[in-house]
Amino acid sequence: MPKSSHSLSALPSQTTRPLEQLGLRLRAHRVHREWTVAEMAERLLCSPNTLRALESGKPGTSIGLLAHALWLLGEIDSLDSVAPAPAGLVAKRRVRKSATQGAAGVIAEDERDF
């Protein structure tokens, strides 16, 4: 079955390269601790193949697994620097639609560009 153009394998290199670099850094941390793939996978509660996917930067790998790996490697605080909020933005601020806007998930005629 052919892959859809909407699959994660079709992501641009601007997305995949940083993931691959992150995977290499995770691998370097594991190797520095002298943990084998099997040992790290056991600690992560995943299969060795899943760990290899994480270390290869595969985009379909779980963000939860990434967070767990960072925690095991003593690097969980590094997530705080990922996508910092714009200055002045209040965390957990809710966005509300005005009553004049259409229903959620419905594209208005003036929003269609095709």
d(CA 81, CA 18): 15
End-to-end Cα spacing for the chain: 28
pLDDT in tens, 86-102: 777 765 666 666 666 66
pLDDT in tens, 15-39: 999 999 999 999 999 999 999 999 9
Task: Give one word for 35, left, alpha or beta, with left for phi > 0 and alpha for psi -120 to 50.
Answer: beta
Residue with more model confidence, 102 or 11:
11
Claim: this prediction has a pTM higher than 0.75: no
